[in-house]
Amino acid sequence: MKLGRMVWAQPVLPAIWHSPFGFRLDKKERSDRFDRIELPFQFLLSKILFPATVQLQLRIPPTMGTVEVLVAQIQGLSSTAGDISRLHTLLKQSEELLHAETSRLPSALAQLDASKHSLGYLYILEACTSVPISQEQSSSILLTISRFISCCNPEQIRLAPEKFVSVCKRFKDQVIQEAPIRGVAPLLTAVRKLQTSSEHLTTLHPEFLLLCLLAKSYKTGRSILDNDILEVDQPRDLFLYCYYGGMICVGLKLFHKALELLHNVVTAPMQSMNAIAVEAYKKYILVSLIYNGQFSTSLPKYTSSVAQRNLKNFCQPYIELANSYSTGNVEELDTVFQTNRQKFESDNNLGLVKQAVSSMYKRNIQRLTQTYLTLSLQDIASTVKLNSPKEAEMHVLQMIQDGEIFATINQKDGMVRFLEDSEQYKSCRMIERIDSSIQRIMTLTKKLTAMDENISSDPLYLAKAGRERQRFDYDDFDSVPQKFNI
């Protein structure tokens, strides 16, 4: 410190600063801002020793606390974990400013590196997309969001997951209006970056699957359906994930997987009925008929009582279809189909219903394999109610190709010979498949055991379990047989 003069640096945060020095300082009228104020050291010392009664008001230039300052703070506080934590606090405090200055935000984004300044970039991008986007701005905004998703830092965006989800949902809404296929790849990247592990179901999972459905990109959607989900952010996410996933598997003719996902929706815990469960139950009935050739209205014991009581009431046309299907009578099934056709069409399930009706012919052919060793195509057509032997031949060939029956067709005399399953379950391929299933079940068992231990030691669970125990009078129970009492 020099005794001649002392430098008084310009404050950054407060807009008006009150000082005990007893005088007023203002910026020079001819300049828009000032960098520092120089005061004699003796004067400062005298004011400290002899405080004055008048307060000093130091006015900060109006440019301080604006978007430019925030950009500078983002650039300076995006290196270490401690800096990013402080930056996160500043960004939370600046949300009102960002939403008030949306017109200046595109230029602010241009000054930032999305890979280095991901957290700050995310906050500005979220505010930038919070206002209605014109048709002219749409392409540039979509490109900006797509590039950000591609190169952003996962650790930084996970600090503000609600902001990242908000940006991705707006991106999804915008691409749906134009071309859903444009959003499939970016949203898959967003899902991978947001989830902490492959077992984590994020809010973006159902959004991604919906885009895949609209874009008919079923194979891409299938890529995230094989993971075992053990961590869910919101119950609604699980309902939509399984519902959309079931529809994607139906599109790929993977009826076994579709049945599993739709079953998860129907049997998931719920306090009240929801539209997702109702729609899933309708498709669950149809897929059961297509894949299993039958449907049972009884649900597992772990299904919520709300679902067991009410689901059937919302799906009466589908229950009627399943009941008529079980009779094996094609005419009766077709009558029920025609009666409820308008309902099926309004539910957007007409295609699935037609597949279910068509599968009746396959089930009737399968029943024939249990009775006959050989049968002519003409007899098959008349028994199953097909129009011609040629149509019967096409059904039999398709069933052989799908592995649903084992048979050979003699083209000369039009005879079909039904065979036994040739699989002996001792080939290398089958052994590898069985071993893979065993390993998967063992891994899943370990995870469930760990989850059970965590729940058993959770304070909230123990507190609730303690309250439940108080309902019972333990004097009414004898845990030790009388003959062992001392």
DSSP output for 169-225: HHHHHHHHHH-GGGGHHHHHHHHHHH-SSTTEE-THHHHHHHHHHHHT-HHHHHTTS
Q: Tokens 């929801």 — which residue?
A: 274
Burial of 61 (0-12, 13-18, 19+ CB in 10 A): middle
Inter-CA distances, 276 with 43, 314, 334, Å: 75, 12, 28
Please give the full DSSP string across 117-182, using - where no structure is assigned: SHHHHHHHHHHHTSS---HHHHHHHHHHHHHHHHH--HHHHTTSHHHHHHHHHHHHHHHHHH-GGG
Q: Where are the domains of the chain?
A: 66-196, 234-364, 372-418
State the pairing for strand pair 200-201/231-232.
Answer: parallel
What is the rounded CA–CA span in Å between residue 109 and residue 117? 10
What is the Rg, in whole angstroms, of the alpha carbon atoms belonging to the chain?
Answer: 34
User: Tokens 């002392």 identify what position?
Assistant: 6
Q: Can you give the pLDDT at residue 469? A: 61
Retrieve residue 480's tokens.
Answer: 């030790």
Q: Which of 199, 183, 202, 191 minimizes the C-alpha distance to 241?
A: 202
In 3D space, the residue among 214, 222, 213, 192 whose CA is nearest the CA of residue 204 turns out to be: 192
The 10s digit of each residue's pLDDT in 55-90 is: 333 333 333 458 899 999 999 999 899 999 999 999
- Confidence (pLDDT) at 460: 85
Which residue reads 């669970």 in tokens? Answer: 461
Q: Residue type for 472, please?
A: F
Class of the CATH domain delimited by 372-418: mainly alpha
29-59 per-position pLDDT tens digit: 333 333 333 444 343 334 444 444 333 333 3
| Sequence letter at residue 107 | S
Please list the residues that pair with 409 across neighbouring strands. Answer: 416
Judged against a pLDDT cut of 80, whether residue 21 lies above it is answered with no
* Per-residue model confidence as pLDDT tens digits over 440-467: 899 889 988 988 888 888 888 888 877 7
**Coil, helix or strand for 122?**
helix
101-140 pLDDT tens trace? 888 899 999 999 999 999 999 999 999 999 888 888 888 9
Crossing angle of helices 184-194 and 161-178, rounded to 10°: 170
